[in-house]
Amino acid sequence: MTYVIAQPCVDLKDRACVDECPVDCIYEGKRMLYIHPDECVDCGACEPVCPVEAIFYEDDTPEEWKQYYDANVQFFDDLGSPGGAAKMGEIDKDHPLVAALPPQEHDE
């Protein structure tokens, strides 16, 4: 089991979750953040600090965003397990599900 970042994060990337994560497993794509399923220790520190409630425990992800579990997992298919997001910086890609979305509006 792991935590999942879903659609509310697209085009926002607040990064409060990144600051809170004790194991540096939240990676930055072009349009959203992704939690590495093998590096996440399920501590849950990221969930309450997300300003748009985009982070869910895998089993608690709303039905409309269930496909974001696969998006988070598959984002790392060609990256493997880098062992920490800080050294990677922004990764110049997104999962196709995210890349295909129109620009997302967020209330400031």
Parse the chain into domains and list their residue ranges: 3-81
- Quick: pLDDT tens for 63-98: 999 999 999 999 999 999 999 999 999 999 999 999
CB-based contacts of 79: which residues, under 8 Å, 6+ apart?
A: 27, 88, 91
CA distance 45 to 36: 15
Closest to 29 (Cα-Cα) out of 82, 104, 93: 93
The phi-psi region of residue 74 (left if phi > 0; otherwise alpha if psi is between -120 and 50; otherwise beta) is: alpha
CB atoms within 10 A of CB 90: 11
Residue reference for tokens 């953040």 = 33
- Quick: pLDDT tens for 2-21: 999 999 999 999 999 999 99
Q: Do residues 42 and 100 touch, judged by C-beta distance below 8 A? A: no
Fold type of domain 3-81: Alpha-Beta Plaits (3.30.70)
Rounded to two decimals, the pTM is 0.95
Instruction: Report the SS3 class of residue 79.
Output: coil
Please provide residue 81's backbone torsions phi and psi, each rounded to the nearest 5 degrees: -120, 90
